Copies of this chain bind each other. A is one copy, B any other.
Amino acid sequence: MPMGVTIAVDCMGGDHGPVVTVPAALSFLRSHPDANAILVGREEAIRPLLGAVAADFGSRLRLQPASEVVAMDDPPAIAMRTKKDSSMRVAIDLVKAGTADAAVSAGNTGALMAISRFVLKTLAGIDRPAIATILPSMKGHTYMLDLGANVDCSAEHLLQFGIMGAMLVAAIEHKDRPSVGLLNIGEEAIKGNDVVKEAGELLRGSGLNFHGNVEGNDIYEGTVDVVVCDGFVGNVALKTSEGLAQMLGAFLKEEFGRSLPAKLMGLIALPVLKRFKRRVDHRLYNGAPLLGLRGVVLKSHGSADALAFANALSRAAEAASNRLIERISERMASMNEVKA
């Protein structure tokens, strides 16, 4: 058995497939000298992309054939039931078997969640797995969950998201007691709906470092490490952010392209503008952990390039080597002891 953490890479998933995932895996192996990668997918698509460098990694790099591919528009149930030799399924099977410590896929989110849940099962005390995202903030990073399809959440679900999010930050950011905020609205008259109010009570009594309610602006102000919300609200917050960032970028580009003097000014300011762009580069934040499962699975953005996909692989390695799953299940166990 190789030393260090082993990542199962679904090479066929995402908009670009092996052209992105294979170079990303090689770059990951270069930057993580202790880690191993299992490239999962169609051999004839992967091997030509490995080239001569593959030999350098010796046993750290393996290829695991899988004959099928989950399409971006496959219904999750169909992908799960009929494509048992898909690269996505085989990658997750490797985690289940203990051969890999984590799986990363840029494929169909719904299918990834369904297959992960079916193969790995949820941890004791977790009703529904969640998806977390990592966002830049004025103070570093903010983790937000749920970004999955948990649209009708109970207060108990939100509490579980808080626990999973805190353990994720503990594992990835090495923070002892990450702060947790509950996304709510600021209107004094009626602060949030009943579910959110009840979730606040549960989080307050949970033993987590619960900060209380936060509002949308707190996500980017970095008020807390973890922002908890249901999947509907989380999705809207994330997509709204993407739309706004895109619009501001387009406006900035338009203004710098409006006239010859403006173009010259843009050219002169380019080094600064580039540094600004790098700082908010969404590729740095690629790799959304699926939480609440008996195994580490990360979802990469479908349109990820090699840099972004390699970041998702690094994040998976970090989560797996810092005992993400054990942290969550220990925390859940101690919660249930208190209750019992």
Contact = CB atoms under 8 A, between A and B. Distances in A.
Contacts of A243: 216-221
Given A138-B247, A240-B241, A247-B136, A235 B190 contact: no
A330 interface: no
Given A215-B239, A240-B237, A269-B266, A220 B232 contact: no
Interface string A171-208: 00000000000010111111011101000000000000
Interface stretch (A14-22, A93-101, A273-281, A310-318): A273-281
Interface string A272-312: 11011001100000000000000000000000000000000
Contacts of A256: 269, 272
B220 A244 contact: yes
A109 to B, nearest CB: 7
A246 B222 CA distance: 12
Contacts of A268: 265, 268-269
Contact of A216 (B237, B262, B275): B237
A275 B255 contact: yes
B266 A272 contact: yes
B194 A216 contact: no
Contacts of A232: 185, 192-193, 196, 233
Contacts of A262: 271-272
Contact of A244 (B196, B244, B252): B244
A212 to B, nearest CB: 16
A136 B183 CA distance: 24
**Contact size range, A:** 35 or more
A137 interface: yes
Q: Describe A's contact surface by its main secondary structure.
A: helix
Contacts of A186: 235, 239
A242 B216 contact: yes
A279 B250 contact: no
Contacts of A231: 185, 187
A75 B187 CA distance: 11
A238 interface: yes
B216 A185 contact: no
B192 A151 contact: yes
Contact of A236 (B75, B229, B265): B229
A76 interface: yes
B265 A238 contact: no
Q: Which of A75, A194, A272 has the most CB of B within 10 A?
A: A272
A193 B230 CA distance: 11
Interface string A147-168: 0110110000000000000000
Rank and list the top 9 A-B pairs by shortest CB-CB distance, nearest first: A216-B239, A217-B243, A216-B240, A220-B243, A185-B235, A269-B269, A220-B247, A149-B187, A110-B189
26 contacts: A75-B188, A76-B189, A110-B188, A137-B247, A149-B189, A186-B235, A186-B239, A192-B232, A216-B240, A217-B239, A217-B243, A217-B246, A219-B244, A221-B243, A221-B246, A221-B247, A229-B236, A237-B240, A240-B241, A248-B248, A248-B280, A251-B280, A255-B273, A255-B279, A261-B271, A266-B269
